[in-house]
Amino acid sequence: MPEALSQEMTAPARAALIDAQGVSLSRDGRRVLDAVDFRVDRGEIVTVVGPNGSGKSTLMQVLIGALKPDAGQILRAPGLRLGYVPQTLHIDATMPMPVGRFLSLPRRHAAVARAAALARVGLEPEVEAQPMSALSGGQFQRVLLARALLMAPDLLVLDEATRGLDQPGTAAFYRIVEDLRRELGCGVVMVSHDLHVVMRASDRVVCLNGHVCCHGTPEIVASAPEYRALFGMGTQGTLALYRHDHDHRHDHDASCAHDIAGGGDA
């Protein structure tokens, strides 16, 4: 089996912030990712969708370097800075940690920088004094996003960052993400089950079920047989209601691959 590689891309040969090529990974004797190709360019929002156990979270962990693939390579733009928002983070209520302290982990940030990051996600500076365990679900996720922004990221990786939020909270969170993309010019990778919301915000959608089933613009993916086999016909009308409009173009060809029988752990 070919050895996995992780390296920086030589500019200006590639425009991608991150480019996964032929990535495969097995866990506990099961193939979770099978020859996955995946890339994100600066300034675009790419959403990864798929059923439970399809390898979405595993792919995110490979992209950020937390897991090493068995085969394939991960090419990163020189000096790439990543901001990561996980799907779950447990804060022990018996050990209260104020928001300000949490924002300064693993390294300290100036008060003005912390305040600016909180403001960008719609929170007042006073929230710094509150314990993390006392925040509402929406506030908690915004604080996680603010902490990611303190890394001055070129690429934001959001792994089901709205899990547990209600629909208004979810929509508000993704509006913030869209605004950040415009303001910062960063790339964004999102994993989510909130199809009707994230499809609106996406420039490209990648449908994953162990391998890439299909990918392309939201409209093309929603009409693909592979996507409909996984999620049913009902999402098509909702997608039309939330159609994403933007004034820039992306030259990625849509592709719908082979059957969707494969699968893997999330």
Q: What is the pLDDT of residues 24-45, one digit of tens each?
A: 999 999 999 999 999 999 999 9
CB neighbourhood size of 183 (10 A): 9
Chain position carrying tokens 């964004």: 188
Asked if residues 54 and 3 have their Cβ atoms less than 8 Å apart, the reply is no
Bridge partner residues of 24 (DSSP): 71
The better pLDDT of the pair 11, 62 is held by 62
What confidence tens digit (pLDDT) does each residue in 165-184 have? 888 888 888 889 999 999 99
CA-to-CA distance for 201 and 130, rounded, in angstroms? 31
pLDDT confidence bin for 137, thresholds 50/70/90: confident
The number of CA neighbours under 13 Å toward the Cβ of 84 is: 15
Gyration radius (Cα) of the chain, Å: 18
The predicted pLDDT at position 194 comes to 67
The predicted pLDDT at position 95 comes to 73
Please list, in sequence order, all residues whose beta carbon lies within 8 angstroms of the beta carbon of residue 167, skipping any fewer than 6 positions away: 197
Asked if pLDDT for residue 61 goes beyond 90, the answer is yes
Asked if pLDDT for residue 7 goes beyond 60, the answer is no
Chain position carrying tokens 């506030």: 139
Stretch (H or E) spanning 25: strand 16-27
